[in-house]
A and B are shown apart, each in its own frame.
Chain A
Amino acid sequence: SAVISQKPSRDICQRGTSLTIQCQVDSQVTMMFWYRQQPGQSLTLIATANQGSEATYESGFVIDKFPISRPNLTFSTLTVSNMSPEDSSIYLCSVRGGPTGETQYFGPGTRLLVL
């Protein structure tokens, strides 16, 4: 399985500001995924990031609010822009691996609290 790291592990931010979350993988991967987990909820996919192309966003998520960069095959960033308390969540980076690339592995998450 891939080893995934995220920075920061947690942060407390003021509303109206932006936070960029970094995700680093120890191997080259085609796709990287960003998820949000709101308090007490399950995981929701925000977007899929392919290297060299625009990220694909899920319904309810837009690029202006969650811009994503994917400069190479081992790294991605997710920015949470113009934050409000409703953005308080855990944000998780994920990649696929396994025998046929069907298993998703997750980073440790970034716990964000917006005041």
Chain B
Amino acid sequence: AQTVTQSQPEMSVQEAETVTLSCTYDTSENNYYLFWYKQPPSRQMILVIRQEAYKQQNATENRFSVNFQKAAKSFSLKISDSQLGDTAMYFCAFMKGMAGGATNKLIFGTGTLLAVQP
């Protein structure tokens, strides 16, 4: 069974600085997807970034980028130039590749609460 581990329950960063959130996962699959979701106080789950396991290049979305280390099964999220609006719970998630069946589940980590300080 696949598992996702986020070892940092809480983190804090100063506005405009850079922060990295950690995520590790365990799987025997070779084809899968990894995601970071953000859940601000409004409780809306917002997709931040996604990574296909078959792609070596790390995904980037504006200030958000990942460090995907497939051999180490590590998928960290880097937030550059942190903004107050980045304050949220961040969830790392894993899903097997679609070839394994359309009903593959999205498996979440326990989350990291990030506070951006002014």
Q: Which residues on A are within 8 Å of B, measured CB to CB?
A: 1, 30-31, 33, 37, 41-43, 45, 48, 56, 58, 90, 92, 94, 98, 100-106, 108-109, 111
Contact = CB atoms under 8 A, between A and B. Distances in A.
B35 interface: yes
A103 B43 CA distance: 19
A111 B102 CA distance: 28
Contacts of B111: 42
A30 B43 CA distance: 25
A103 B91 contact: no
Given A42-B108, A42-B109, A43-B108, A101 B102 contact: yes
Interface residues of B, number: 22
Given A45-B106, A106-B45, 14 more contacts: A1-B47, A31-B103, A33-B106, A37-B43, A42-B109, A42-B110, A45-B105, A58-B105, A102-B97, A102-B98, A103-B33, A108-B42, A108-B43, A109-B44
Interface string B86-118: 000001000101100011011011110000000
7 contacts: A45-B105, A102-B33, A102-B50, A103-B47, A106-B45, A108-B44, A111-B43
